[in-house]
Structure 1
């Protein structure tokens, strides 16, 4: 879960915010996990842009839903498989 954390919203524009979040999280996980904190170029609109890409193709949108039963059976991998084209890898 802590592999890549994307911080979004207006607060992320405060000087030192990203570094503070990283420092605080590292103190909690104490070397158990390696992770990266990423701040998009425009953290205020980033979520909207990703969501608009997701729903722009209405014909395939419903095939992307994950039921509770599917998630319970397959875990987070089912989400990764269905949404891999919508994740922001290049931020």
Structure 2
């Protein structure tokens, strides 16, 4: 899956404008198409609508905004982690605690900024 097709995980979006600003401007349209709500707050009846409306206000009308939630948003992220660790290439996408403690944040930048 390419970077632009990765779902975005927003578990407690109390301030979507702050979350939205973390992404480079050229990535924002791609991220807005793939917002996936997880966690307990996603179970509230109007939470998805609230997140959608807040994101919709932050971007031009030409951007597509798609906010979805899985059937069980409480455990969805955990199941995603289980699937990720079953992938034989998982070491390409993670930094262990030991690696971080030995090499620091520079190791993360080196590994993921390529």
Same fold (TM over 0.5): yes
Alignment RMSD (CA, Å): 2.1
Q: Across the two proteins, how many residue pairs are aligned to each other? A: 72
Aligned equivalent of 1:6 = 36
Q: 1:61 aligns with which of 63, 68, 90?
A: 90
Aligned equivalent of 1:19 = 49
Shift of residue 70 of structure 1? 5.4
Q: Which contiguous aligned blocks of 4+ residues in structure 1 show a shift greater than 4 angstroms? A: none
Aligned equivalent of 1:34 = 64
State how far apart, in whole Å, the 1-side matches of 2:111 and 2:45 are.
41
Report the TM-score, using the length of structure 2 for normalisation: 0.54
Report the TM-score, using the length of structure 1 for normalisation: 0.65
Higher relative contact order (CA 8 A, sep 6+): 1
Unaligned runs of 5+ in 1: 74-91
Unaligned runs of 5+ in 2: 1-30, 96-107
